[in-house]
Amino acid sequence: MFFDIGDPDLLMDCLTVNASHSNYTTPFGCWILIFRRYLKSGNLGKRMKQDRTLENLGMDEREKMESGFLWKLEGFCNLVVLFSLFSGFGGIWAGEEDRRNSLSGLYLSPLQVISTEEIQTLDSEKRIPIDEDSGIALREEPKPVDPNAQDVPVAPGADTPAETSVVDTGPKSLETKIREAEGLLKRYYSQFIEEKRIWEDREKGNVYNSRTEMNDIRLLLWQSTHKNSETYIVRDSPLLYQLHIRLARLYVESDKYAPALRHYLAAFRYHPLEMTEEGFRNGDWQKEDVLGYDAASAKEHDRLFDEWKQSEQKLKKTKDEIHLKESNWIREGKSLSDLIPQSKLWKEEVRLAEENRKQTKQKYDESVNQRYLAYLNKRKQVESRDLYAFANVVRKLEDDNKERLKIVNKLGTAGKGIYVLFDYKRNTDFFAYELILERAYRLWNENPLVLTDIAEQYRQDGKKERASDFYEKGLGELLKVKTPSQEEQERIIKSNLRLATINADLKRNILAGQYYEKYFNLSPDSAEKTRVSYEIGVFFNSQIGDPDRAVPFLEYWLERNSKDWNPSLDTDTGQTELESIAYYYLSKKDKKHKRNELERNKLNISFAQWKRLDEKMILAEKELKDLIEKKQNLKKDLMVTTLDEILSQYRLIDLKIEDQEAVIRVLETKRNKIPLIKILFRSGVLAEESRDFVKAKEFYELIIKEGGETDIRVALKELERVRRILETGNIQPPINESI
């Protein structure tokens, strides 16, 4: 031996080599490693030098020979090591890399921590005990322990028996429902130390004021709209998904939108939004079928799929065996005449296999329609509804943070649309609400709630054609519901109104009129219906020119707003100009049917409303004039003295003048809305037909006073004609009888 095995360093190498070098776990490999280390340490060279000195050999030549020998020996050892690696001498022993505990049993699955009975308890009046310190839900009694079962970690609180105490009875409050659901989730998350810490840190936040949550939504949408890699797969846990969704809804019900948003985000991390047929057959969701998708149906579908695949393999194998059997028949030298009947028997086997394949394929196709597609339809409806609720939470948070701030003009309804003005404060970088709506639509394009909300977004963006398409589709889906809920009924009414206004803006007046009538017939009595009924009556008169269809809407409005129409009203609504317009349009129906007396009465009421506004205008102008005179007097006093009392009076007068000018502007706007010239012309014609030419003369003179240049020219001609009639008695028809 060239080295001393009693060297402590080498002994330590022998003891630790297995732990540090898995490639040298065999005895042969161990000795090779020790020998290599001995060469590197220089001990072998020292021993050989000592031997040379004792033998009194020549130094120069012997040293060269020895050093060459050492280099060759080390190279040889390296070759032996490489050879042992590739040949198997240095191979890994069985189980060498599996000495650590398997991760499969390290954490409990959700169904091991949370039972289905506890999920059902959440909907009942039975209470789930909660630990006061940790908030973890406790079990009522310990689980039975199997002494032969493998040791697995248990989540804290999962097996802690609950102390019997007096608990509340009756329906659960909102806070109790939240505590119980949170307790079950905490029981599961408590086995993940890091995840628990992160979840608790996120729960502490109560204000949606940073980009963090928004980025989470962006990443969630990116993952759900782009294909994930094979190493990144969203875990499918219906139990955790349902718990997070339940908590999100409870938080929304309690008006706590920030925690609701976090629970919605967590829910979709446990629920992939794309489900294939293979996922239906072999998905992990079957282990936690708490959503009621029927795991037994999926297993039956998987069995039919296996039978179909086996029948295909059997058919292929049977066809291949025919050629092999015929070849063996020839090789064995058997008679060809006997081969023909035998081939018929073999082909019969192929035919039977083909029929079996067709039958199994037919059963599988039927199962696809009856089981998989039914499952897919149920699942996508649940996902779409949950995404829609998620989108509403995001929209509420965006509105609260002024990320969707809009300035809306709500003065007009029928035929004018809602005008959205530009707002520089609006965040145009990212709108999670619209993206989530789009995702919900892609999952289930027949969801009426999603369709109507997308239509509303298009309407606000000014894309009226697209908005009309989505509103029509959403309305069609809503009308398919046999017994619609109150919310669905409200959406039907609102969709009809939106379709009416959009079609009116697009000059589709006939369609708009139909939707207006549907809205009016479906809508219950309300302030909104009263306001819109006036707009509808004006629309039918001015846009369609059908006064008969306009009458019910105008009468409905007058019944609730005009003391002239309904004397039982307690107070005046103050909508004088609208009353005047309504009576004017009502008179058009009487004009159409040549009921002059009724028409004259309505025109007189309409004109009386204008006179009432005009009198208010005169009084307001007189009051303004008095204020200006008072201001001038105070100004004269200020030229003599600068007392604080006079200065304060001067400032108050200034404020009163500004307020009075605003009142005059409002009255002037209301007065100008009334079609006074048309009322006066028509009243003059009716007065002439009743041979009251003096009254007609007064109407034409008022037109000259209040009208524009064109109106004055026409009124002067009519006035001259009336004067000639009064002078000569020769009656001449009006210049324009169509007025």
The DSSP bridge partners found for residue 161 are 139
**100-109, 177-186, 286-295, 551-560: least confidently modelled range:** 100-109
Global pTM reads 0.71
What residue segments make up the domains of the chain, in order of their start? 8-93, 407-601
The answer to whether 247 touches 178, Cβ cutoff 8 Å, is yes
**128-137, 221-230, 475-484: least confidently modelled range:** 221-230
What average pLDDT does range 549-554 have in this prediction?
94
Q: Is residue 733 predicted with pLDDT exceeding 70? A: yes
**9-18, 140-149, 730-739: least confidently modelled range:** 9-18
Highest mean pLDDT of the ranges 215-219, 220-224, 468-472, 557-561: 468-472
pLDDT at 78: 57
- DSSP state, residue 480: T
- Top pLDDT among 7 and 298 is at 298
Grade residue 536 by pLDDT with cuts at 50, 70 and 90. Answer: very high
pLDDT at 14: 43
- Top pLDDT among 562 and 72 is at 562
**81-95, 558-572, 609-623, 641-655: least confidently modelled range:** 81-95
d(CA 121, CA 128): 7
- Top pLDDT among 14 and 264 is at 264
Q: What percent of the chain has pLDDT over 70?
A: 70
The four Cα atoms 380, 381, 383, 387 give a dihedral, to 10 degrees, of: 130
Q: What is the pLDDT of residues 705-714, one digit of tens each?
A: 998 899 899 8
How does DSSP assign 570-597, residue by residue?
SS--S-HHHHHHHHHHHHHHHHHTT-HH
- How many other CB atoms are there within 10 angstroms of residue 578's CB atom? 22
d(CA 306, CA 363): 11
pLDDT at 476: 95
Q: Is residue 526 predicted with pLDDT exceeding 50? A: yes
What average pLDDT does range 99-117 have in this prediction?
72
The answer to whether 727 touches 720, Cβ cutoff 8 Å, is no
Q: What is the pLDDT of residues 206-217, one digit of tens each?
A: 444 445 566 666
Grade residue 356 by pLDDT with cuts at 50, 70 and 90. Answer: very high
pLDDT at 104: 57
Grade residue 236 by pLDDT with cuts at 50, 70 and 90. Answer: confident
The answer to whether 699 touches 687, Cβ cutoff 8 Å, is yes
pLDDT at 217: 66
What average pLDDT does range 211-225 have in this prediction?
61
Highest mean pLDDT of the ranges 323-337, 354-368, 682-696: 354-368
d(CA 433, CA 441): 12
Grade residue 451 by pLDDT with cuts at 50, 70 and 90. Answer: very high
Locate all alpha helices (DSSP H) within 368-485, ordered by sequence: 373-400, 432-443, 448-460, 464-479
pLDDT at 409: 45
Considering the domain 407-601 in this protein, what is its CATH number? 1.25.40.10
Q: Is residue 196 predicted with pLDDT exceeding 70? A: no
**116-120, 330-334, 375-379, 482-486: least confidently modelled range:** 330-334
pLDDT at 214: 63
Q: What is the pLDDT of residues 50-66, one digit of tens each?
A: 444 444 444 455 555 55
- Top pLDDT among 100 and 729 is at 729
Which tokens in the block code for residue 351? Answer: 């035919």
Q: Phi and psi (nearest 5°) for 344?
A: -65, -40
- Top pLDDT among 359 and 739 is at 359
| 153 dihedral zone (left: phi>0; alpha: psi -120 to 50; beta) | beta
- How many other CB atoms are there within 10 angstroms of residue 21's CB atom? 14
pLDDT at 157: 53
Grade residue 86 by pLDDT with cuts at 50, 70 and 90. Answer: very low
pLDDT at 401: 66
Grade residue 269 by pLDDT with cuts at 50, 70 and 90. Answer: confident
pLDDT at 61: 52
pLDDT at 369: 92
pLDDT at 105: 61
pLDDT at 249: 95
CB neighbours of 355 closer than 8 A, spacing ≥ 6? Answer: none
d(CA 504, CA 502): 5
What average pLDDT does range 302-316 have in this prediction?
92
Grade residue 5 by pLDDT with cuts at 50, 70 and 90. Answer: very low
Residue-averaged pLDDT of the chain: 78
pLDDT at 232: 47
Q: In this structure, which amino acid lies at residue 296?
A: A
CA angle 338, 344, 349 (to 5 degrees): 130
pLDDT at 229: 44
Helix axes 576-592, 676-689, angle to 10 degrees: 40
pLDDT at 610: 94
pLDDT at 564: 80
pLDDT at 203: 53
What average pLDDT does range 484-513 have in this prediction?
94
d(CA 84, CA 87): 5
Q: What is the pLDDT of residues 162-176, one digit of tens each?
A: 554 445 677 888 888
CA angle 511, 447, 293 (to 5 degrees): 155
Q: Is residue 607 predicted with pLDDT exceeding 80? A: yes
d(CA 8, CA 2): 16
- DSSP state, residue 107: S
Grade residue 235 by pLDDT with cuts at 50, 70 and 90. Answer: confident
d(CA 374, CA 592): 59
What average pLDDT does range 468-497 have in this prediction?
94
- How many other CB atoms are there within 10 angstroms of residue 485's CB atom? 9
pLDDT at 210: 46
- How many other CB atoms are there within 10 angstroms of residue 307's CB atom? 17
